Structure 1
Amino acid sequence: MTSPTVMCVSECFVKPQHDLSQDTNQPIYLTPFELTFINAKYSQKGLLFAKPSPENQDFSVTAFLDDLRRSLSATLTHFYPLAARLATRIEQNPPSYVIYIDPQNSPGVKFIHATVDATISDIVASSDVPIVVRSFFDLNDAVNHDGHTLPLLSIQVTELTDGIFIGGSVNHLVADGTSFWHFMSAWSEIFRSNEQNGGVISRPPVFKRWVLEGSDPITKLPFTLLDQPTKGSEHHPQLRERFFHFSSAAVSKLKAKANDECNTQKISSLQAVSALLWRCVTRARQPPLNSETVCNLVTNDRRRVNPPLSDDSPRFDMYGCEFGLGKAVAARSGFMNKADGKITMYPGREGGGSMDVEVCMSPEYSMDLECDKELISALENN
């Protein structure tokens, strides 16, 4: 079946609503940890909403887009680094260079309106993610270093026959998953308030930088790194992307079973579901019996440092971002940073501890995963 084509209708740049103050107009220097992501690709996440019925005379796509742009501008007053660009300064003593976020001389956040001849059912009816979803995001193949010439955030609003998808491509040097959904939540809050509260948000972001005591707050990189390639690979592995839904009941049963088998009460829901998927993926790949498999977990450590960092959205409150369209139908991601065996967990739409799990696997293994008896049994508990 031929994938529908996404057509760009218009694009523009959106700047913060108010001019930056002297304090917020200063360079933001990247930490050594952040700079490790310099060659990583942009992060792409988005939400699919149902469009109001044609009988709703109060809804206009044109007016909706205007409200999105206006509220985005107000939100960027708080999240001004997202409207910036990267910059590099050459140092001579010692010979080195410094990469930083420059709030000045940037056109702002890119805003795209696109259309596609597809329905919500085309996107979510199957557990397989259709290829067209990849075109719901901008800046495909961009790496973080490209933020010198590309926007640090690009928003694409794709209009479906009966739905609207709002997708964001964000530079990982500026925002991780928690920060991105914090921004989306604030944007939604301002949108729904019609700026009647003056653009005030309930959870302002914190941009205070932290460095080790006694260390230089400005990280200087040797010249030798400047010549290393930073262009993203144009080769994309053949992957089958699938979503599996675990209801709160299914998650609870997995957790109870894991704790019972290990004679403990310390195994969390995340650990129980992760262990299940690790076993199922390993079986699907059919590695040699004497081989060793590894499962790497990326977690949020904000609350584990001393003192604790701000933890605005530990569970990524995606479905709290409504933009006047009600709760989103589904969350989807772009094809950046995908790899065979990568698993991404999202909170389920109905809440209550439910989970939506995105699994990326080579097509040759994906069918075996789909037929895995343990996975089928767990999903039957939905």
Structure 2
Amino acid sequence: MSSDQVRHISRCTITPQRTTESPQTPERCQLTSWDLSMLSFHYIQKGLLFYTPSSLKHPSNPTVHLLKKSLSQALLHFSPLAGRVKIHHSSSPSPSSSSSMYVFIECNDAGAEFIHAASDVTVSDILDPIDIPQIVKSFFSLNGALNYDGHSIPLLAVQVTELIDGVFIGCSMNHSVVDGTSFWHFFNAWSEIARRGGEGSDCISAPPVLQRWFGDLDPSLVRLPFSEADEFIEKFTTPVLRERIFHFSAGSIARLKAKANEECNSNRISSFQALCALVWRSITRARKLPLDQNTNCRLAISNRSRLQPPLSPHYFGNCLQIVAATTTASQLLSHDLGWAAWMVHQSVSGHTDVIVRGTLDAWVKSPAVYHLSGFDGWSVVMASSPRFDMYGNDFGWGRPLAVRSGYANKFNGIVTSYPGSEGGGSVDLEICLLPVFMNALELDGEFMDVVSH
């Protein structure tokens, strides 16, 4: 299934339709160090697959109209997504001081992109293959766009693709504006408004907190020490990868957690930490790394609850960092699952308020922008979270069938976590590996014994 099987029917810009009762919107949204660090990453691309709602078969297509109307209303609450990235350059009169860039979001209601598309494929064409079909990438727009590009392209692009018996709603959202928590917060609010038929949009159950948090820092110090974009922007070419969803039932994960805790004589290993340890060990084994090669299990975790006092769970913006468990391939594979799980646990539990604030201070002294090429080929990166409410996104025609991602931010060793469609603590992992390593992983007994078929 190739990308040319997706036909674009229409394209338009959706802007917030403001009234006197609309929520107040800031004129600008200054970006934090967490936001600025993401400027050279791709947009977040996640989407939901549904069976075709009956209203989509109507000649006047009220479903697409409702999605546009409710999107416009959702943007009233999430105004940064309707804005654009702005860059102001400042040069110092002192020869010893370099110029800097002040980057922010101008909340100018320029709007989001909405694409209506169609494809002659079925739901089973998407869900049945072992590997995720390449056509899924064409269910998203802005493929390859970097967050820095948000000065000239929308910060949010929605593509609604009609299938023969289904519909896919794909969102591409600027990663310097949102992290995964905020991405799904917006998706949840949009579907909530649509589920109400687009009525009562002045009130949503979880309004976002738009004020950015800088801790004890002076926001004026949060700048990039560059004069040109090419000093910190890197174009990343995604290698040829196999991408596959592995399903883990609640029972399978419970047994894995019990095993990890028993092996390290603890009751503190969480279900997800045990699963991370399994993936780390299994992929390391599949790669056949040299025994003295360092390997990391990196986890993208939210700082919201780790700060003192904690930030609201509805804080809208990037509030995540990478923590890592590190050892050699020899140590990782010569010890048991519990040993690896304990290392993962320590990396997460050690990420405290003091550590978080310290990293902010360190960033101001030495600002940096992350690059996708910085993720090495001998580590594992655990992204997203099975705690995000993905299957609660009912637009008025029932629960989604599946969650899928697009082209963005894919590299050898990225593992994206989703809740399992049946709920109850089940988890789906989207694993991206070079083909030779995926082939080896599929033959790994320890790993496949935990996978639920």
Is 1:331 paired with 2:403? yes
- Render the CA deviation track for 1:145-165: whole Å, top value 9, x for unaligned: 100000000000011100000
Is 1:123 paired with 2:126? yes
1:306 to 295, 305, 308: 308
Paired residues of 1:29 and 1:217 also in contact (CA < 8 A): no
Corresponding residue number in structure 2 for 1:81: 80
Q: How many residues align?
A: 377
Q: In structure 2, do the counterparts of structure 1 residues 259 and 221 end up closer, same or farther at CA, with 3 Å as the change threshold? A: closer
- What is the 5 A alignment of 1:210-359? 210-213=213-216, 215-217=218-220, 219-228=222-231, 230=233, 232-233=235-236, 235-312=237-314, 315-359=387-431
Q: CA deviation at 1:196?
A: 3.2
Corresponding residue number in structure 2 for 1:97: 101
CA distance in 2, matches of 1:209, 1:375: 41
Amino acid at match of 1:176: D
Q: CA deviation at 1:229?
A: 5.8
Corresponding residue number in structure 1 for 2:28: 27
2:211 to 208, 211, 224: 208
Question: Post-superposition, which runs of at least 4 consecutive aligned residues in structure 1 deviate over 6 A?
Answer: none
With structure 2 as the length reference, what TM-score do the two structures score?
0.78
Paired residues of 1:190 and 1:199 also in contact (CA < 8 A): no
Amino acid at match of 1:6: V
Q: CA deviation at 1:220?
A: 3.4
- Render the CA deviation track for 1:124-155: whole Å, top value 9, x for unaligned: 11231000001011001110110000000000
Paired residues of 1:141 and 1:336 also in contact (CA < 8 A): yes
Paired residues of 1:346 and 1:356 also in contact (CA < 8 A): yes
Secondary structure of the structure 2 residue equivalent to 1:304: coil
Paired residues of 1:4 and 1:117 also in contact (CA < 8 A): no
RMSD: 2.3
- Render the CA deviation track for 1:65-102: whole Å, top value 9, x for unaligned: 00000011111100111010011123355643311101
CA distance in 2, matches of 1:4, 1:111: 19
Corresponding residue number in structure 2 for 1:152: 155
Q: In structure 2, do the counterparts of structure 1 residues 22 and 137 end up closer, same or farther at CA, with 3 Å as the change threshold? A: closer
Secondary structure of the structure 2 residue equivalent to 1:295: strand
Identity %: 46
Q: In structure 2, do the counterparts of structure 1 residues 70 and 377 end up closer, same or farther at CA, with 3 Å as the change threshold? A: same
* 5+ residue gaps, structure 2: 94-98, 316-384
Is 1:179 paired with 2:166? no
Corresponding residue number in structure 2 for 1:48: 49
- Render the CA deviation track for 1:178-216: whole Å, top value 9, x for unaligned: 101000100011111123334310100001122243624
With structure 1 as the length reference, what TM-score do the two structures score?
0.92
Paired residues of 2:83 and 2:107 also in contact (CA < 8 A): yes
CA distance in 2, matches of 1:260, 1:59: 57
Corresponding residue number in structure 2 for 1:107: 110
Paired residues of 1:30 and 1:218 also in contact (CA < 8 A): no
Amino acid at match of 2:274: A
CA distance in 1, matches of 2:165, 2:23: 45
